[in-house]
Amino acid sequence: MDRLLVLVRHGQSEWNLKNLFTGWKDPGLTEKGIEEAKKAGEQLRDLKLTFDIAFTSDLSRAQKTLDLILEELGQTGLETIKDQALNERDYGDLTGMNKDEARKEFGEEQVHIWRRSFDVPPPGGESLKMTAERVLPYYRSEILPRVLQGKRTIVAAHGNSLRALIMELEKLTPEQILKRELGTGTPIIYRLNEDGEVISVEDLAA
């Protein structure tokens, strides 16, 4: 049985390009982001991968990325489940701020702590720990059971919601996951055993 799980971060968004904290805001993809999503679809097609079910967040940049990937695969119309549980980390009061301006206002060190600590949230927002606390129960109840049934599954989501999943899948510590950079529009292919443990991983950015 092929227990396949593919994770892909959305392509570059308009706010990624402007270096803004995005969180739950809903900017569209840039032209580059559209190309990244199409390339992800081409990479998966070249590997002759197809899917039985897809998951994505409640935000259009992830949904559009998934649509473009499925178009390349000739799988438009694939059963797709959208859920807020897979949304990006909520940056609270930082949402919409330029990251350089935030450093000027709050100080380099404080912004670094908000961005790169595991359990310190920005004002009014979520830490990575809090993000994981909504992502992982959803993964365990909705996504993993389908993978274990042999349904080939693709998840299009966001840098931090995917970090939470990768931390679980690869059994990483908070320190290790915070150092993990996820490229936009780059698929990571996991194959799992019957217990849901990873037996192989292939990052197509590598």
Taking only the tens place, the pLDDT of each residue in 31-58 is 999 999 999 999 999 999 999 999 999 9
Q: pLDDT, tens digit, for every residue of 1-17?
A: 889 999 999 999 999 99
Q: Is 26 annotated as a binding residue?
A: no
Q: Is 180 annotated as a binding residue?
A: no
**CATH-assigned architecture of domain 4-90+136-203:** 3-Layer(aba) Sandwich (3.40)
Q: Where are the domains of the chain?
A: 4-90+136-203
Q: pLDDT, tens digit, for every residue of 84-131?
A: 999 999 999 999 999 999 999 999 999 999 998 999 999 999 999 999
Q: Which of 10, 36, 72, 158 is catalytic?
A: 10
Based on the residue annotation, tell me whether 88 is a catalytic residue of this protein: yes
Q: At residue 179, does pLDDT exceed 90?
A: no
Q: CB-based contacts of 42: which residues, under 8 Å, 6+ apart?
A: 72
Q: In 10 A of CB 23, how many CB atoms?
A: 22
